[in-house]
Every structure is written in C-alpha cells, then in structure tokens.
Structure 1
Amino acid sequence: MIGAVNATVGSTSLGYQDIIDIIDDGDDFYTKPDFMNRLKDNNKLNVNFSTEILSAGWYKGKNFWSFNIGLRTDIGANLTKNMFTFLNEMETVEENWRNSNYDISGQQLNINAYTEVGLGLSRQINNRLTVGARVKALLGIGNMELKLNKVAMNANLPSDARINQLQDPAYLSSLGVDDITKLRSEIEGYHANLAVDAHLESSFKGLNLKKEDGQDYISDFEFESKDMGIAGYGFGIDLGASYKIMDNLTVSASILDLGFISWSKSSTQIANAKAAGIDMKGSDYTSGIDPNNIPGSITAIENNIKDLQTDANGYMERVSGGDVLDYEMLQLRTEEASKSRKSRLASTLVLGAEYGFFNNKLAVGVLSTTRFVQPDALTELTFSANYRPKSWFNVALSYSAIQSAGKSFGLGLKLGPLFVGTDYMFLGKNSNSVNGFVGVSIPLGGRKANKEG
C-alpha cells in the first residue's frame, strides 16, 4: 500500500455543521433555536484523522510481515448544554449579566497527535487459527488536556438607570433617614460571584500561550510552525486473532493501540485558574452610609456607587465575552512544569464475525467496536454485506446503528489499486457522524498459497 487517509467527525447530539461552527468559534450559531433544541445535557464530540504515509507487507515462510509509517490525531470534547444556554442568554438578553445564575462546569477538551512507525507479524497457526501482533514506536507531536472543573457565576447588580439615579445630586439631596436606611439595605443585597477552577496541561513544541501586555494570564493560543517538533516518545502494540469456526464462518478479535506517550518536561506547559475568581459583596460598598449622618451618607453613597460601578463593569467584561473558550473569564495563569507527563493512546476493542456464501464471493458480517477515546468511550455496532467477485473489484454496504443514531449507512469500493468509502455517509449538515477514507494499494509479488500449518 502506498498510502491511505481516514477522517471522522462525530457527536452524540450535534450535527456536522454544528461541530464545524464550534471549532470555528462562530459568533451566533448558539442563538439559533434549532441548535439549542438539539443539545443534550452533555454533548460529546470527536474528530479523528489518520493517514498511512507509507505501508508495505510481505510473506516470509509461514509469516506475513508488515511495516507502516502513519500519522494519528484524536480530538475529543465534552460541552454542556448549560454553557450554550449561558452564551445564548448573554447574547440575546440585554444586560442579563447583572442578574444571573449560571453553572457551566464540566467542559473538557483533549487533543492527541503523534506519528507511529510500526512493524507487524501475522502467522497462520493452522487452517483455522491466525494470530498477529504489531509493535509501534511513537513520536509525539502534541497533547493537550483542558478541564473546566468549575465555572459558576451568580449576580444581583443595579441597572445603569439605578446607578445613574444614585449618582444624581438632586436625588441624593432628597433622601431622608428612612430612605438612607432602605438604600443601605438595598446595596447590601447586591453581589457578584465568579468561581473558576480550570486546569490546562499542554505538551506541544511550537505552541505559545500568549499574554497581552500588562496581563499575567493567557489571552490566546498560537502555533509557530517553525518551532514544531517531537515533544515526546512512546510505545504501542496491536494484538489480534481470527478463527474459522466452520469453512464459511470466521470470528475475530483485536485490541489496537495499547500504549502510551511520555511527553518531555521541556515541551510541557501547565496553567491553572484556581485563584482567579470574583467575590463582590454589597456590604463592601456601604462604608460611611449612616442614617444618623445624612450629609456624610450622601458623600459615602457617591463614592461607594462609583466603586460598585467600576467593579460591576469588571465583572461584566469577565463574563460576557461570548466565546466557547473564553480566556478572559478563565484567566489561566501559567506555571513551570516540574516533570514530564504521560498520556495513553485511544485504544480500540474490535469483535467481529463474518459468514460467506458462494465460495466467499458474498459475505455478511457484524462488527462491534469500542474506542476508548477522551472524554468518554465510543461504542458502535455495524452490520455489513460484502460482494467480492474478483480480487480487483469489491463492494461493501454497511449500517452502523449507534453513533449516527441509526440515520446513516456506509459504502466501500475497491477498484484495482484504489479503494474509497465511508462508514457514515454524509446526508446533510445535521448528520451526527461523518466519515470518509481513500487509499491506493499496489501489490508486489503473488499471493501466498494457503497451506495448513
């Protein structure tokens, strides 16, 4: 085989276009009722890309050896409905931030990218049992884990009209003892709280955590392609076996991508936001307000309301950014990595069975796949039918019941050295899962004769 490319985009609830909008961080997609209605409490999305840059296989005695160089990228995220509700209401309800109660905790982002160099061996033990294994050296390109463990806000703040009134000399001069007593109680009821507990671990050479002048927290992520390189090393292994229960019935099992990558300390950056919250108490703005001293109270009200307005504006700027990943709200502060870190691969468990007809020119099968990606494992059950009248011409039709919510099908075609296909056909922008693969395979030499081992 010269090379192949496989790309998959999928979600438990979101459509293909929704995922693209989230990745692009569009400005208004979360204001659309159709988008909000599709959301579940927790919305998982995954983007996977793999390519075989080069691969080859050959027989030597009873063994079949294979070699490959490939690139793998896995992106996984958990996004809660509460977060999109927060973005929606902040965008569509004017000054909603003044009287709000939101908890958008639980967001998570995972990225893992690496190159693998693999050497595989498959051996036919007898005419029924075949076993195989592949060992892989891994060159880490990058890994990132971002967890928003807690992001919660609660506010009760005066409107602009009320603040203007409390700064109007004519209004203040009309206040009596009872008015000042009530006003003091009103101010004591104002509050604004923002609690943030977020953690970022990144191991990417060439990834810069940018800060704006005068700020000590991250304002953006920026990649410098000239600085990119190997950020870690690891090891992986694939194991598999197939067994012919009868001449036409074969079962198989495999576990793929067992392994890990160790990321170097020098390429690792860590950031936290545990001490970056806001805690505004109304009682902090009542100093000097005393019903028994009306002239002094008027001066104190003017000064306290100015301070309250300044702090309220700071709270507003912090919580009303309108971005899925809001750096201003999180205010992640970097710290030096004390050691290297490890990440595991997204292992996959595959169980299958196939029954052949007409000398195996036609076959039906079932395949169970469980992929242990982040943040949660993905399970799929696929039914397939394969027609392979010639070695140079195969066609397959499949139906996957879970990830596409039963609303998609797959199609594959091998024509000479070219093979193309999809496990999840693109059926419009609301497709939950979309997948495609293409490759070229050029055989060198003849087939191995089937002998009993």
Structure 2
Amino acid sequence: MKKLYAVLIALAAVTTLSAQNPTTYFMEGSTFRSQWNPAFAPDRGYVNIPVIGGIQIGTQGNLAVDKVLIPQGDQLTTIFSGSVPATFALEELSEMNSLGVGTTINIIGFGRYARDRRTFWSADLNIRTDIDLHLPYGLFDFMKNGNSADISGLGISGESYLEAAFSYSFPITEKLYLGVRGKFLAGAARFRMNFDRFYASLGEDRWYADATGTLEVAGLAPGTKTIEAGTLVYDMDNLVDKFKVPAGYGFGVDLGVTYDLLPQLQLSASVNDLGFMCWSKGKTSIGETSRTIEFTGVEIDEEGNATQPSFDLEELELEVRESKGITKMLRASVNLGGEYAFLNRRIGVGLFYNIRFREYETLHNLTLSGNFRPLHWLHISGSYTFVDNRAHAVGLGLNICPGGINLFLGTDVLLSRKTPQWIPVRQSLMNYTFGLGIPLGPRGERHARR
C-alpha cells in the first residue's frame, strides 16, 4: 500500500499550505471579513494587493496534524514511515479518522462604500481548494503492525476551482442589514477515491486484500494501459497524464444578515456556499475495482511478526468505465454570531458558532472572542475555539490600517505548543489568515451608528 498512503498524505500535506479563521469573525477592519457573512463590511473600501491581498489556510478534523506529519530531527516524515514506532502512531487514534484541509487565495479584490456610506459592494477573484481524508483505524493498524484489518470506508476527496464573486450589502432599516454574494465557478480539478469494501489479511507468506472501490477524476486525465484479456485500466504511475481545464462550471450564493438588537448588541447569521458544481462528462475519468489481490515480499520473524506490507495502486487495476457528467453540491457552512460592545465600542465580547458540511462529516465549532479597538485604525481580537469537543485552539488576530495600508493577520496556533517546523502539537484545528491591501474612499457610517 506504499503508493496509496503516499498519495493520501502527500495531497494533505501540500494543501495544508478553506478554511476560514474564526478569530477574524469579529475583526471589523479586515477586508476579508465579509467572506464569513456578506452583510458585513469593513471600515473603509479597499483594493487588495494581487495574490497576497487575502490568504486563508486551514485544517480541521479529529486527527491532530502532528499525527500525520511527524518531525524527526530537522526532517518531516509521515505516520506510515517505518522509523515511526507503532505505539506512537496508533495512540489516540479514533475508529474513523478525518482531516479536512483547505485554502482560499484572493487573486484580485476590491470594494467600496456607495455615496450614502452605508451600502457596500465588493468584487473578488479567488482560488479555492478543499481536500478531505477519511482514514479508518484499521489502515494504521494494518500498516504499522501487520494485523488483519477492515479498512472499509477509506477515502479521499478533493476539488479546486476558480471563484468570481460579487457582493452587495445594504440597509433595510437603521438596525437591519442584508448581504448577498453571487459566485460563478470554474472547475480546475476534482479527485475522489473511495473503498466501500477493503479487507486485508496475512497469509503464511503473503498479504491478501479484498477490495471494492471507485475512482473519479476531473480536469486531470490519468494515463491508461491494457492488461491481460484486453482490459483497459488506469496507469496509477501516471495519474496526471494531461490537464483538461476548465473541467466544469458552477454557481453559488452566500446570504447574510446583521441586526442591532440593542445599541451595544449585534446579532449576525449567514449561510455560505449554497450552490453546485457540474463536472464535464468529456473531462471526467471513472474507474472501478472489485477483486481479491495478493502481494508477496513479506518477511515474518521467529516471533510471528510481519514487516510492513508494501503494494501500490497498480495492483488494484482500476478498470476504465464510461465517463459521465457529475454534479456535486458545494460544501456549505452556517455561521451564527453575536457581539456585545461597550466603552464606546472600544471593547467587545463575541460568541460565534460555525457548522461546516464536509465530504465525509459535519463539523461544529464554538468560538468565544474578545475584541479590542483602542484606535480607529487598530483592531485586535483574541479567541478560544472549541472543536467538536475534541480539541481546542487559542487564536489571535490583528488588523492595522494607519492611512495608506491595510494589513491583517490571524492564527489560532500562535499560543499552542509547536514543533520546529511550526506544526501544532495535539491540535486538529489550524488556521492562518493574512492580507494586505490599500484603503479606498471614505469610512463607512454603519459602525459609527451603533
């Protein structure tokens, strides 16, 4: 299974480079805040610096990041490396281990208040990538100890697309604001491999595996080859033979609202990424496997212990099936928040609840936030996030806008213990946010009226 887990971990590691950082939810000066709720608006209009105007990087799940990428000296290795002891690799794992990783990179972004200084509009061009891993405990036990295992449910799913968005936020009354963001999507790539059945066992001198699984690839055309009996299968040593982009099109919408229940208390709610992506039939490859395979090269010592199994994806012989168009719903999220501000809004306390619908599971976060605005151009936010009662994260965000520049950054791993490679220890939630832009136009009046 050497190449199988290499693909899984490598893809996760590369993408760890959508996640949104809950620390930034109440940071009013941030130009990227409206990504949470299109009814939000920054203090001023803006023009983002291309590419570095808004970058969000994050992971979330029930598998701690340092359990996947393990530092050994100055190097990083994966959990499946033979140099990682089985006792360390298997401790604290769940029956089903999940890890979602994602990025949002703002290529172009700008926004501005209308003449009334209350209505706000913005336009953005983003690249978004999401990957989900679904790893049964049996996979780790099989790879590290050589025990027979049920690995059914093993899967990886990922997609990347270009998002062109236009947002509009406007007042209904003095206290009520609505926001809407329409998004046109162009698909770059999609990859999904799932095993509905996967049983692995050890014989006298070889390993056996009984597997049923499917492969779906769009935008990245894998190579093919012919095996015995003229069967056409995908060449797993050449997963990306050529690119076929754009691989599909889609549409999404974000809907948001804010309401000032009291002069000091604002409530907010939004539903994001309601929509779909249609992946083209002509640019989608589909493969299936349902077979029993065996692989040799196993050494068993006098105590009956086996070496780690080693076979690659080629042995699965994923047969080429007829292509078809695939329509998938976007990975939606729901955001609920409330902030109470006092001392002329220089200090605020907020509570934020987030539901994110991933490929394999639904994740829930609850964040308590303290927000400080000592100057109109300086906002500081601190947060404590509870992640599905499995892990906690302490975050810190900073937004500076002293005239001709708007800088914001935030992370929820700043205060956590980390490896020398800056990987948080025993933490499954990891978010980084960075943005750099130029303020544009007059300040809005909506925050001043509260």
Q: Same fold (TM over 0.5)?
A: yes
Aligned: 1:15 with 2:65: yes
Q: How far does the alpha carbon of each residue in 1:283-330 deviate from its partner, in whole angstroms, 9 at most, with x for none? A: xxxxxxxxxxxxxxxxxxxxxxxxxxxx884999xx98846x941453
Residue matched to 1:219: 236
The one-letter amino acid of 1:342's match is T
**Cα 1:448/1:394, change in 2 over 3 Å:** closer
Cα pair 1:380 1:401 within 8 Å, conserved: yes
Residue matched to 2:13: none
Aligned: 1:421 with 2:415: no
**Cα 1:20/1:237, change in 2 over 3 Å:** farther
**In the TM superposition, what is the alpha-carbon distance from 1:76 to its structure 2 partner?**
0.5
Cα pair 2:109 2:123 within 8 Å, conserved: yes
**In the TM superposition, what is the alpha-carbon distance from 1:392 to its structure 2 partner?**
1.6
Cα pair 1:30 1:84 within 8 Å, conserved: no
**Cα 1:321/1:233, change in 2 over 3 Å:** farther
Q: How far does the alpha carbon of each residue in 1:133-161 deviate from its partner, in whole angstroms, 9 at most, with x for none? A: 0100001111122111101134544x69x
Residue matched to 1:334: 320
**Cα 1:122/1:85, change in 2 over 3 Å:** same
**Cα 1:387/1:29, change in 2 over 3 Å:** farther
Distance 1:245 1:119 in 2: 28
Distance 2:320 2:212 in 1: 14
**Cα 1:312/1:253, change in 2 over 3 Å:** closer
Deviates more, 1:69-78 or 1:405-414: 405-414
Residue matched to 1:243: 259
Residue matched to 1:375: 360
Aligned: 1:149 with 2:196: yes
Distance 1:363 1:27 in 2: 47
The one-letter amino acid of 1:13's match is L
Residue matched to 1:188: none
> For 1:34, what is the secondary structure of its paired residue?
helix
Say which of 417, 426, 443 aligns to 1:447.
443
The one-letter amino acid of 1:10's match is Q
The one-letter amino acid of 1:423's match is D
Residue matched to 1:113: 160
**Cα 1:25/1:343, change in 2 over 3 Å:** farther
**Cα 1:326/1:320, change in 2 over 3 Å:** farther
Aligned: 1:123 with 2:170: yes
The one-letter amino acid of 1:333's match is E
Distance 1:149 1:320 in 2: 26
The one-letter amino acid of 1:445's match is G
Residue matched to 1:392: 377
Residue matched to 1:103: 150
**In the TM superposition, what is the alpha-carbon distance from 1:331 to its structure 2 partner?**
2.5
Distance 2:281 2:249 in 1: 12
Structure 2: runs of 5 or more not aligned: 1-46, 300-305
TM-score by length of 1: 0.75
**Cα 1:389/1:109, change in 2 over 3 Å:** same
Distance 1:217 1:30 in 2: 32
Q: How far does the alpha carbon of each residue in 1:10-34 deviate from its partner, in whole angstroms, 9 at most, with x for none? A: 3303333524799968532664312
The one-letter amino acid of 1:116's match is E
**Cα 1:313/1:37, change in 2 over 3 Å:** closer
Greater fraction strand: 2
**Cα 1:137/1:82, change in 2 over 3 Å:** same
The one-letter amino acid of 1:364's match is V
The one-letter amino acid of 1:343's match is K
- Structure with the greater alpha carbon radius of gyration: 1
The one-letter amino acid of 2:93's match is L
Q: How far does the alpha carbon of each residue in 1:245-294 deviate from its partner, in whole angstroms, 9 at most, with x for none? A: 100001110001111110111110001002x225xxxxxxxxxxxxxxxx
**Cα 1:80/1:312, change in 2 over 3 Å:** closer
Distance 1:444 1:151 in 2: 57
The one-letter amino acid of 1:202's match is V
The one-letter amino acid of 1:257's match is D
The one-letter amino acid of 1:227's match is F
Distance 1:16 1:414 in 2: 29
Greater fraction helix: 1
